[in-house]
Amino acid sequence: MADKLPIKTILIANRGEIACRVNRAAKELGLKVVQAVSEADTESLAARLADEVKVIGPPQAAKSYLDVDALLAAAKESGADAVHPGYGFLSENAGFADAVEAAGLVFVGPSGDTIRLMGDKAAAREQAQKAGVPTVPGSDGVITDMDEAERLAGAVGYPVMIKAAAGGGGRGIRVADDAEAFRKLAPQASNEAKAAFGDGGIYIEKVIERARHIEVQVLGDGRDVVHFFDRECSLQRRRQKVWEEAPSAAVDEAVREKLCAAAVDLAKSVQYRGAGTVEFLYDDETGEFYFIEMNTRIQVEHPVTEMICGTDLVAGMIRVCAGAPLGIAQGEIAREGHAIEVRLNAEDPANGFMPFPGVVSGLKVPGGEGIRFDHMLYDGYAIPPFYDSLLGKLIVWAPDRAQAIARMKEALSTLKIGGLPTTAPLFTALADSADVQANAVHTRWLEPWLERNIDKLTKQGETTT
């Protein structure tokens, strides 16, 4: 298919499992793959899979994976036509997208202007309102004055969520139950956002006590947009997703249709290009849903959508960003069955989820019908201590949710990652939970459950030794 695209070589400006995933999609399109690596990642699986490797700097991300000049130099030296940013690092950095395009290269993602607009959560909220998409009750724009913020919080009604206007990853977020807590927490959220993202602006949203986190996968070519249905990511620890499913079992088809239509309307309103995700909170008690943010990149949990829709989203985003039309109508996209993904991290869940780099040994990857493992591992690989602890994602598909949970337990029992603890015991325990099996969870369910069930998260056999 490469002869049908105006690109021949793609630079992967990321690492870990997502670099391996992009590599696979690019090669299936017939593209040459150049892998950018730090000095700590020269022996990574992503480097081994690539056609060419470019070392871009020392282990520190700020001097390698976040160094725009080094990445552009690597692209130029390798003759790359396009740059795929993966997720994290510079994937939602408007300046990086601008710089890639200014260098005459294809940025595999939306334009810098779109990233800038949708990356500012307050501006994205305003854009959603313009597109007729419901938003959580809260402030209408960025707030920098703390006295004004407190007044607005009182008007919205406690409890409220204080959120950084820029950034993501759960940083710059606090929940205030009353005015006294707000006066303490709002400056903390602002300062954390300023330190992490260079922008201390905040906005305020009403807390929905029993919310579900439901998101819609979209793909656009800058002219048209289609959706690939919904996912649910309500099982979260410290606002980080740990277990994801597609489709959500919490909504009926009428609500699903409205959610997906709202996501497409918003994406069309910004002439979206590439793969993106529109995230919503769904109120279990009222049946209402509200826009919270848009992720202008491929997401960690994209495989569950691929499993139920039978599509390759990463290949799709490469094609449309290279200028190809969508080539598919909404009516041609169908879903089947149920998929679940769990994130395997090099962390010890029985010890406060402490990160635990080590050397992988005795690796055994589960296989069989409906089982997929996207990962960055091989026997003898030393996990670098410099980056995120994600090792890979275990994904299963089955005809229905109950069978998917059973298949996940089976796959977890087969998976072996020796040499270091992982979060596998957490997911075995969750699969056994009556609440999870009954789908009686919400975004604030997991952390109290963890406190009650810490004894179940001990190391289990070879999986975590």
Q: How confident is the model at residue 32 (pLDDT cuts 50, 70, 90)?
A: very high
Answer yes or no: do 426 and 310 share one domain: yes
Does residue 413 fall inside a structural domain?
yes
Q: Is the pLDDT of residue 154 over 60?
A: yes
Q: Is the pLDDT of residue 170 over 70?
A: no
**Residue 354, amino acid:** M
- What residue spans of 270-312 are helical by DSSP H? 302-309
Exposed, middle or buried, 162 (CB in 10 Å: 0-12/13-18/19+)? buried
CB contact set of 244 (below 8 Å; sequence gap of 6+): 231, 232, 233, 235, 300, 301, 304, 340, 341, 342
Does residue 341 fall inside a structural domain?
yes
Name which of 122, 124, 106 is nearest 273 in CA terms: 106
Q: How confident is the model at residue 169 (pLDDT cuts 50, 70, 90)?
A: low
- Rounded to whole angstroms, the Cα distance separating 371 from 438 reads 22
Angle ∠(411,413,419) on CA atoms, nearest 5: 110
Residue 256 is part of a domain; what is its CATH number?
A: 3.30.470.20
Alpha carbon 353 to its chain centroid, in Å, reads 20
Does residue 431 fall inside a structural domain?
yes
Answer yes or no: do 202 and 333 share one domain: no
Q: How confident is the model at residue 193 (pLDDT cuts 50, 70, 90)?
A: confident
- Domain with 24 in it: 2-108
Given this model, what pLDDT does residue 163 score? 87
Does residue 115 fall inside a structural domain?
no
**Sign of the CA dihedral 231, 235, 240, 241?**
negative
Q: Is the pLDDT of residue 134 over 50?
A: yes
- The catalytic residues are 297
Percent of the chain with pLDDT over 90: 83
Given this model, what pLDDT does residue 328 score? 97
The verdict on whether omega for the bond into residue 349 sits within 30 degrees of 0, i.e. cis, is no
Q: Is the pLDDT of residue 337 over 60?
A: yes
**Residue 320, amino acid:** V
Given this model, what pLDDT does residue 200 score? 83
Residue 172 is part of a domain; what is its CATH number?
A: 3.30.1490.20
Q: Which residue has the tokens 């939602």?
A: 92
Residue 26 is part of a domain; what is its CATH number?
A: 3.40.50.20
Strand arrangement of the beta sheet that strand 390-398 belongs to: 289-295, 273-283, 211-221, 225-237, 240-246, 338-345, 390-398, 371-375
Domain end, chosen from 173, 191, 206, is at 206
Q: Which residue has the higher pLDDT, 83 or 205?
A: 83
Reduced to 3 states, what is the DSSP secondary structure of residue 300? coil
Given this model, what pLDDT does residue 139 score? 86
Answer yes or no: do 240 and 298 share one domain: yes
The verdict on whether omega for the bond into residue 159 sits within 30 degrees of 0, i.e. cis, is yes
Query: Half-sphere exposure of residue 433, counting CA atoms within 13 Å on the CB side?
Result: 21
Does residue 49 fall inside a structural domain?
yes
Answer yes or no: do 171 and 218 share one domain: no
Answer yes or no: do 196 and 252 share one domain: no
The 3-class SS string of 1-20 reads: CHHHCCCCEEEECCCHHHHH
- Mean pLDDT calculated for residue range 378-397: 97
Angle ∠(336,339,345) on CA atoms, nearest 5: 160
- Mean pLDDT calculated for residue range 224-242: 96
Q: Are 411 and 431 in contact (CB under 8 A)?
A: no
Domain end, chosen from 171, 206, 241, is at 206
Does residue 126 fall inside a structural domain?
no
Answer yes or no: do 355 and 374 share one domain: yes
Given this model, what pLDDT does residue 460 score? 45
Q: Is the pLDDT of residue 463 over 50?
A: no
- Mean pLDDT calculated for residue range 122-136: 94
Does residue 176 fall inside a structural domain?
yes
Q: What is the pLDDT of residues 288-326, one digit of tens each?
A: 999 999 999 999 999 999 999 999 999 999 999 999 999
Q: Is the pLDDT of residue 458 over 80?
A: no
Answer yes or no: do 217 and 197 share one domain: no
Answer yes or no: do 99 and 158 share one domain: no
**Residue 57, amino acid:** G
Q: How confident is the model at residue 201 (pLDDT cuts 50, 70, 90)?
A: confident
The answer to whether the predicted template modeling score (pTM) of the entire model surpasses 0.85 is yes
Q: Is the pLDDT of residue 391 over 90?
A: yes
- Mean pLDDT calculated for residue range 91-105: 98
Answer yes or no: do 162 and 257 share one domain: no
Name which of 256, 297, 244 is nearest 275 in CA terms: 297
Least confident interval from 149-158, 188-197, 207-216, 423-432: 188-197
CB contact set of 249 (below 8 Å; sequence gap of 6+): 232, 338, 401, 439
Given this model, what pLDDT does residue 145 score? 87
Given this model, what pLDDT does residue 100 score? 98
Given this model, what pLDDT does residue 197 score? 75
Does residue 289 fall inside a structural domain?
yes
Name which of 13, 15, 41 is nearest 109 in CA terms: 13
For residue 359, give the DSSP letter: B
Given this model, what pLDDT does residue 365 score? 97
Answer yes or no: do 398 and 438 share one domain: yes
Answer yes or no: do 198 and 233 share one domain: no
- What residue spans of 332-460 are helical by DSSP H? 401-414, 424-432, 434-437, 446-452
Reduced to 3 states, what is the DSSP secondary structure of residue 67? coil
Q: Is the pLDDT of residue 260 over 90?
A: yes
Q: How confident is the model at residue 167 (pLDDT cuts 50, 70, 90)?
A: low
* Region of 172 on the Ramachandran plot (φ > 0 left; ψ -120 to 50 alpha; else beta): left
Mean pLDDT of the chain, nearest integer: 94
Q: How confident is the model at residue 462 (pLDDT cuts 50, 70, 90)?
A: very low
Q: Is the pLDDT of residue 378 over 50?
A: yes
The gap between the terminal CA atoms of the chain, to the nearest Å, is 44
Domain end, chosen from 175, 206, 237, is at 206
Answer yes or no: do 16 and 159 share one domain: no
Q: How confident is the model at residue 465 (pLDDT cuts 50, 70, 90)?
A: very low
Q: Provide the number of structural domains found in the chain.
A: 3
Q: Are 142 and 312 in contact (CB under 8 A)?
A: no
